[in-house]
Amino acid sequence: MSTSKGRPDTGRDRAAVFDVDGTLVDTNHLHVVTWWEAFRRAGHLVPTHAIHRAVGLGSDDLVAHLLGDGPALSADEAEDLSTAHKVLYGQYFERLSALPGAARLLRHLAGDGWKVVLATSAGGDELSALRSAIDADDAITATTSADDVTEGKPAPEPVEQALELAGVPAERAVFVGDTVWDMRAGSRAGVRCVALLCGGIPRADLEEAGAEAVFADPADLLASLPRSPLA
């Protein structure tokens, strides 16, 4: 659920929109393992490398993407898979850790006048756990989750919703993410895209999907701000 309403555009405001999983918090491989187990329990043998490439999609889209070539799932079967993943992943909530430099990056940008907005498919207790791991609520202007949009990434709607919350047009915004789905969503929303490698996706794939610049992790981006789209 969004945590702030859009504000009038002053003509000087800038928005730094961030994906969360794999970008600010080290969770991608936890999602891979817990999705793999959820699929296994339901009788689907899905390779972990395929799951890794699908992380960043919303649950329904991830299931459809990974099982699309197999027998059609009923709505109940798809919901059971999603629920199993949530339960398995929930075991890690108290142990989630931010990626290096995540909080410092958000606070630096906020202090430099950027409106920091999170755009994530997480919600509820999961989103609370992620924000607790980042520990930089004082720097975050607003958050948009899967509950606020009808289409998740790679559709542009999550990024567009984040811009609406910030009250900032696309030409004065930058989207930071770690997956090809992030880069496609940002590009379709008309914002400049920065990719981080800490989610485990190759640089070439991120650049092909629309990344204007690529950095190792939040700490590297913070150290490299003068030569980034967030300069």
pLDDT at site 36: 98
State the pTM of this model: 0.93
pLDDT at site 159: 97
CATH of the structural domain 28-91, one choice from 3.30.70.20, 3.40.50.300, 3.90.1170.50, 1.10.150.240: 1.10.150.240
Q: How far apart are the first and last CA of the chain?
A: 30
Look at the block and give the residue holding tokens 């949009």.
149
The residues pairing with 58 across neighbouring beta strands, listed in sequence order, are none
- Asked if 223 contacts 214 with a C-beta cutoff of 8 angstroms, the reply is no
pLDDT by residue for the chain (231 residues), tens digit each? Answer: 455 445 455 568 999 999 999 999 999 999 999 999 999 999 999 999 999 999 999 998 999 999 987 667 888 999 999 999 999 999 999 999 999 999 999 999 999 999 999 999 898 999 999 999 999 999 999 999 888 888 999 999 999 999 999 999 999 999 999 999 999 999 999 999 999 999 999 999 999 999 999 999 999 999 999 999 999
Look at the block and give the residue holding tokens 């520990």.
135
- Asked if 54 contacts 72 with a C-beta cutoff of 8 angstroms, the reply is no
- All structural domains of the chain with their residue ranges: 14-26+97-227, 28-91
Give the number of other CB atoms < 10 A from CB of residue 212.
Answer: 17
pLDDT at site 11: 61
Q: Which CATH class is domain 14-26+97-227?
A: alpha beta
pLDDT at site 46: 97
117: CB partners within 8 A, 6+ apart: 15, 16, 17, 18, 140, 141, 142, 143, 144, 162, 163, 165, 166
Nearest to 20 by CA among 122, 149, 171, 151: 122
Whether the link from the prior residue into 154 is cis, omega within 30° of 0, is yes
